[in-house]
A = this chain, B = another copy of it.
């Protein structure tokens, strides 16, 4: 028998001496989540090396981590230190976590606001579209550097990437260091699982208090533009109820322009996901704010409020800037009194993945990984999103099957653009990058305006493009 848990074996119950190198270790978001999750895990222990361009921030997190580790209700046995050099943080690491936002947040403002001047609206601008494209170009040199450091310092480490653009960053790691062990993690699908769990509760008599993680979904596509064609709850087909639910929700869209003016910026009713299901037959498996950036039909609007008809909002660039963030204030509170920090169920999987990789407990989840056959109709080697099985033997993608032709059509467009951006990023070739930029589905403006927009985005963040051959880029000439 080959059951997947190791409960009845002689394998040790605890794995110690783990070293985690954390790039972006000064953050208030992911870093705190990791500290939270590690200190609630009873069978792992070791050291976390925090690296950040903002060394002081990493130091604060190290202090917080050690303070919390000293609390009575903390499990495991973890120490935290800040490092000034990336190399030192990664040296001998078993795991490397990347969660960076660098170049700084101002770039986010440009990525959203400049295209808006050309009537191109983007709710997120971190993955695709004009904003996502230039963000990709900026990220690639950084990820080359990370991959090179991994190759030098910890060639066998598992790299868990949380940074967007997820696909391009993860792909750049493999392009620089093909033998790297890296996966990209994203929780968008988890939200769709929760939606499906609600459907299970609603339509299956015996299903009560169903957790999203109980919904077994077949995931296929690319990050933020992935699709579900099967969903079961312990063998019960949940997918069949989508048609019923769609009838309830119709007509779509269900709101009017301006309806959500007072709503939270991150509100999401899955109406785009359902509309894609209605049109193409599979369920779009990311938040609507991401899904709409991959097709031209929803953001063809005259003013931002119009998109509210579909139940979500355009996040203004102002919401992306740190000073709208209460992180620093909280940090002060925690450092003053570590007991103020509340241990929670984060819902993130990094620690579960580490537990699986050291051999403690097998895990099936969806991650971003180079295509080795899991989605046979997408290009080999492109980073795709599907389920994988994670065990002590590593990460093995699970075959997800082919996509229906017209969904493949849309996904392939994005894959080709991402591959071209990576190629352009490694070659420092902005003319090549512009080919992909033009083929972004949101770029439906004239060829000349598109060139102006691209050039303007590069100009405004010129300092982050020093790895690119700006001198000879024809696209920057007028």
Show the binding face of A for B, using Cβ within 8 Å.
Answer: 1-6, 9-12, 206-211, 213-214, 216, 218, 230, 232-236, 275, 278-280, 296-298, 300-301, 349, 352, 357-365, 372-376, 380, 387, 389, 391-394, 396-401, 405-406, 408-410, 412-413, 416-417, 419-420, 423, 434-436, 438-439, 443-447, 450, 474
Top 7 A-B residue pairs of the complex, sorted by shortest distance between their CB atoms? A235-B392, A234-B359, A235-B359, A373-B373, A406-B435, A373-B376, A409-B416
Q: B12 near A206 (CB under 8 angstroms)?
A: yes
Q: B406 near A297 (CB under 8 angstroms)?
A: no
Q: B444 near A213 (CB under 8 angstroms)?
A: no
Max chain B C-beta neighbours (<10 A), residue from A275, A373, A408, A423: A373
Q: A297 near B361 (CB under 8 angstroms)?
A: no
Q: Which residues of B contact A410 (CB under 8 A)?
A: 439
Which listed residue, B211, B349, B416, B446, touches A300 by the CB 8 Å rule? B446
Q: Which residues of B contact A446 (CB under 8 A)?
A: 297-298, 300-301
Contacts A2-B352, A406-B416, A439-B406: A208 and B297 contacting too (C-beta < 8 A)? no
Q: Which residues of B contact A447 (CB under 8 A)?
A: 275, 279, 297-298
Apart from A218-B396, A397-B398, 8 more pairs, CB < 8 Å: A2-B349, A3-B361, A236-B359, A236-B392, A275-B447, A297-B450, A376-B380, A405-B420
Q: B363 near A4 (CB under 8 angstroms)?
A: yes
Q: A213 near B1 (CB under 8 angstroms)?
A: yes
Query: Which chain B residue shows the least CB distance to A5?
Result: B5
Query: Which chain B residue shows the least CB distance to A4?
Result: B4
**Bound-complex Cα distance A410 to B420 (A):** 13
Which listed residue, B218, B364, B372, B400, touches A401 by the CB 8 Å rule? B372
Chain B nearest CB, measured from A316 CB (Å): 22
Q: Which residues of B contact A393 (CB under 8 A)?
A: 216, 218, 230, 232, 235
Q: A399 near B372 (CB under 8 angstroms)?
A: yes
Which listed residue, B2, B206, B297, B416, touches A365 by the CB 8 Å rule? B2
Which listed residue, B10, B206, B361, B409, touches A412 by the CB 8 Å rule? B409
Q: Which residues of B contact A376 (CB under 8 A)?
A: 372-373, 376, 380
Contacts A349-B2, A392-B235: A413 and B417 contacting too (C-beta < 8 A)? no
